Amino acid sequence: MFRTDLPARPFRLQRVGPYVMANKGYYGMYGKWARWIDADGAVVFAIDEYAFGALPLGEDMLAVTPRSICRLKRTSGAGVALSPVKWSVEMDEAWSREAAAGGALTIGDNDALVYAYHPIADSGVRLKRLSADQGEIRWSHYCMPLGVEHSLYQHRVRVKLVPRGVEVTSVGERTFVETVELETGKRASRVYREER
């Protein structure tokens, strides 16, 4: 049990590897920040931006936000200092507008797959494969939305690696499962299911 000082009461807590990610600013609103806390209660990564996805990368942390994907170095010293940024890739307007939830997965030794969607809109799912060392985008793919109206809409997404590909399951008004080629980012297949 530990106590950690944060800028305000977090809106959301989430386990990310050996850390707890505390967030304020769900859907990009309300004074935004994210902090990663270790098992001793120390804040080891900190940004003033809402992060909906994260992935530990050795001693660093990959943070996925509505505005950027960045690789953070650990904070140093006492108190909560913002983490030094090793690299950052700014996202385009379409990503920023729809990115309110998502995550990140490791691909092999040196790549990451990040994904984003909106949990209360028929946003489709945006994917990016990038080099974890330099932040170079290897490919981007957009799983198109269903084209339904936004009204009391709930959208859940699961992304997992499958042999030679990425499987994206989008559950909303209808369910689709889209498989994307791991090496090229091109759509291999898309099927619809009746489950909700």
pLDDT value of position 195: 66
Which has more confidence, 120 or 86?
86
Q: Residue 93: is it exposed, middle or buried by C-beta count within 10 angstroms (0-12/13-18/19+)?
A: exposed
Q: Identify which of 138, 146, 188, 141 has the alpha carbon closest to the alpha carbon of residue 163.
A: 188
Please report the domains of the chain, with CATH numbers, ordered by start residue. Answer: 1-90 (2.40.10), 91-196 (2.40.10.480)
**Which 3 state secondary structure label does DSSP give 9?**
coil
Query: Is residue 75 a contact partner of residue 83, using CB atoms and an 8 Å limit?
Result: yes
The predicted-structure confidence for 142-187, as pLDDT tens digits, reads as follows: 999 988 776 557 889 999 999 989 999 999 888 999 999 999 999 9
- What b/e string do you get for 14-36 counting C-beta neighbours within 10 Å, with b at 16 or more? bebeebbbbbbbbebeeebbbbb
pLDDT value of position 72: 96
Position 132 confidence tier, pLDDT thresholds 50, 70, 90: very high
The predicted-structure confidence for 62-106, as pLDDT tens digits, reads as follows: 999 999 999 999 886 555 678 999 999 999 998 988 888 999 999
Give the whole-angstrom CA distance, residue 58 versus residue 71.
11
First to last CA, the chain: 39
pLDDT value of position 35: 92
Unique residue bearing structure tokens 């691909």: 107
The predicted-structure confidence for 104-114, as pLDDT tens digits, reads as follows: 999 998 999 99
The predicted-structure confidence for 5-64, as pLDDT tens digits, reads as follows: 787 777 778 899 999 999 886 654 556 889 999 998 899 999 988 899 999 999 999 999
pLDDT value of position 164: 87
pLDDT value of position 91: 93
Tokens of 164: 């030679």
Q: Identify which of 136, 142, 94, 96 has the alpha carbon closest to the alpha carbon of residue 112.
A: 136
Give the whole-angstrom CA distance, residue 94 versus residue 98.
6
pLDDT value of position 112: 97
pLDDT value of position 30: 57
pLDDT value of position 191: 96
DSSP states along 92-152: PHHHHHH-SEEEEEEETTTEEEEEEE-TTS---EEEEEEETTT--EEEEEEE-------SS
